Amino acid sequence: MTARLTRSDARAAGVAARSRVPPAELGVWTADGRPDPVALLEEQAAGRIPELVPVRYGRMAVSPFTFLRGAALPMAADLARGANSGLITQLCGDAHLANFGLFASPERDEMFDINDFDETLAGPFDFDLKRLVTSLIVAARERGFSPHEGRAVGHRAIRSYTARMAAYAAMRAIDVYYASVDVAAILAYVDKHAKAMIHGTVRSSAHHDAVHELPKLTAVVDGTRRLTERPPTLVKRADATPPLADTVLAAYRTTLQEDRRDLLDRYVVTDYALKVVGVGSVGLGAFVVLFTGCGDDDPLFLQVKQAEASVYERSLGPSPAASHGERVVTGQRRLQAASDILLGWAVGEGGRHWYVRQHQDQKATAAIGLMTLDELATWGELCAWALARGHARAGDPAAISEYLGQDDAFLHAIVGFAEVYADQTERDHAALTRAIAAGRVRAEPGV
């Protein structure tokens, strides 16, 4: 068994890390010698479904914020070039504000948490915070808020993370593990100006389940329920053969707990199709599978998504997991307060790695493009709260809390970095739009 640090030892480790790498060093950013971000995106595209790559570029070209969503690799490369705290936890890896939201726990309680783990890997906790606060600054600019207002949004997020981490640092490990960010706690926390947004998101999540998705994704054809194609975002492909799907699903089934295998066995596969999801993931394999249970009113949708190496593995080293699907699932279980009961992974034909989860199991996120300043700041605080809970559960909250300290040095460093990196994101977005205009890369506009 690995020896555990006492709380006083952990605090001493945090103090030593802060002395070794003062927080101010985390705020330093220079673009000198960085790789061409468009070239990195082209490198990623080489192994993706060719006809979907233009969809990815089209989505990234919409705005600097959508570019940032898809540019996890360029930002990971940039973060690797700078200083870091050296305090390791499980990273979300792609902690921008659109990758948080509400979902139902196995007990069907609504909670707020991280909801994307494609890039998860063990790494310095500050990497996630830099990506989160940068996304808040970029979103604030797109909403037309002033630089002062954008900084205030970032400050509130860091203060939220710092306060929550200090609280987790004083708790027993098992209490941190059981902690969650549930709706009751959120509504007690947010002020009246943001309550309407939270209530609306809760109502939206309650309608996002398999029964609700049934008429949206399917139709009855010759007496059988089938998925309805909506090119280019939902299509059936000749290369997605039944044996391939059966192989992946059979391997996935073995990674579930026994009781959950029994649940899955109550359903049979009816249909499946390629479904384009997100921004950064576009071009990877992502299938929605329709299962039917005891009747037409008993559907189950699973999302089968391809997993590649985390963008952080280039700088932080390879994951110890046997497959990238397992890496994603393990990271999700470490960070989330409660994970999907049907979460699992598989290695399929051709050595492709996959992970599987329910599609639309009472999930919802807020409309970032419509947020008021107070709503954006509140959402940022909630994201930081959930991130702190995940980092505390997977890392050492006492060490991290000591590194954060009692002053504002860490706050100013991260927000200062985020402002400068938001400028870089705008330049990188412009570089992509120029590459599209010049024909270097092809984009499907407005998709």
Q: Specify the number of domains making up the chain.
A: 2
Looking at the domain assignment, is residue 444 inside a domain?
no
- Give the domain-ending residue among 358, 379, 413: 358
Looking at the domain assignment, is residue 446 inside a domain?
no
**Pair 164, 389: CB distance under 8 Å:** yes
- Whether residues 296 and 237 share a domain: the answer is yes
* Both structure tokens of 348: 């399929």
pTM for the model stands at 0.94
Determine the structural domain holding residue 27 and report its residue range: 7-208+365-437
Query: Which residues are within 8 A (CB) of 84 and not within 5 positions of it... i.e. 6 or more apart?
Result: 21, 26, 124, 126, 127
Q: How confident is the model at residue 241, as a pLDDT?
A: 60
Looking at the domain assignment, is residue 76 inside a domain?
yes
SS3 content of the chain, % helix, strand, coil (to 5): 55, 15, 30
- Whether residues 198 and 87 share a domain: the answer is yes
Q: How confident is the model at residue 274, as a pLDDT?
A: 87
- Whether residues 109 and 179 share a domain: the answer is yes
**Pair 120, 90: CB distance under 8 Å:** yes
- Whether residues 45 and 178 share a domain: the answer is yes
- Whether residues 189 and 251 share a domain: the answer is no
Q: How confident is the model at residue 207, as a pLDDT?
A: 63
Instruction: Give the three-class secondary structure for 354.
Output: strand
Compute φ and ψ for 428, nearest 5 degrees. -65, -40
- Whether residues 352 and 373 share a domain: the answer is no
Q: How confident is the model at residue 335, as a pLDDT?
A: 97
Looking at the domain assignment, is residue 229 inside a domain?
yes
- Whether residues 29 and 141 share a domain: the answer is yes
Q: How confident is the model at residue 3, as a pLDDT?
A: 57
Maximum Cα interatomic distance, the chain, rounded to a whole number of Å: 70
Looking at the domain assignment, is residue 192 inside a domain?
yes
Compute φ and ψ for 438, nearest 5 degrees. -85, -5
Residue 5 vs residues 10, 13, 87, 170: alpha-carbon distances, Å: 6, 9, 14, 14
Q: How confident is the model at residue 205, as a pLDDT?
A: 65
**Pair 442, 39: CB distance under 8 Å:** no
- Give the domain-ending residue among 306, 339, 358: 358
Looking at the domain assignment, is residue 72 inside a domain?
yes
Cα–Cα distance, 99 to 68 (Å, whole number): 12
Q: Walk along the chain (447 residues) and give the pLDDT tens digit of each residue.
A: 355 789 999 999 999 999 999 999 999 999 999 999 999 999 999 888 888 899 999 999 999 999 999 999 999 999 999 999 999 999 999 999 999 998 888 887 888 999 999 999 999 999 999 999 999 999 999 999 999 999 999 999 999 999 999 999 999 999 999 999 988 888 888 887 778 888 777 777 666 667 777 888 889 988 889 999 888 788 887 766 666 778 899 999 999 999 999 999 999 999 988 888 778 788 788 889 999 999 888 999 999 999 999 999 999 999 999 999 999 999 999 999 999 999 999 998 888 999 999 987 667 677 888 999 999 999 999 999 999 999 999 999 999 999 999 999 999 999 999 999 999 999 999 999 999 999 999 998 755
Cis peptide before 54 (omega within 30 of 0): no
- Whether residues 84 and 194 share a domain: the answer is yes
Cα–Cα distance, 361 to 383 (Å, whole number): 20
* Both structure tokens of 433: 């739009």
Looking at the domain assignment, is residue 447 inside a domain?
no
Cα–Cα distance, 273 to 167 (Å, whole number): 45
- Whether residues 113 and 230 share a domain: the answer is no
Alpha helices in 81-146 (DSSP H): 125-142
- Whether residues 86 and 62 share a domain: the answer is yes
Cis peptide before 50 (omega within 30 of 0): no
Q: How confident is the model at residue 1, as a pLDDT?
A: 38
Angle at 403 between CA 399 and CA 404, to 5 degrees: 120
* Radius of gyration over every alpha carbon of the chain, rounded to an integer in angstroms: 22
Looking at the domain assignment, is residue 216 inside a domain?
no
Residue 29 vs residues 25, 155, 403: alpha-carbon distances, Å: 9, 19, 20
- Whether residues 248 and 141 share a domain: the answer is no
Query: Which residues are within 8 A (CB) of 360 and not within 5 positions of it... i.e. 6 or more apart?
Result: 208, 209, 210, 212, 213, 301
* Both structure tokens of 130: 């830099």
The residue to which tokens 């960010």 are assigned = 181
Q: Around 289, how many Cα atoms within 13 Å sit in the side-chain half-sphere? A: 23
Compute φ and ψ for 379, nearest 5 degrees. -60, -40
For 297-351, give the secondary structure using H, E and C.
CCEEEEEEEECCCCCCHHHHCCCCCCCHHHHHHHHHHHHCCCCCCCCEEEECHHH
- Give the domain-ending residue among 358, 382, 416: 358
Cα–Cα distance, 103 to 391 (Å, whole number): 19
- Whether residues 145 and 96 share a domain: the answer is yes
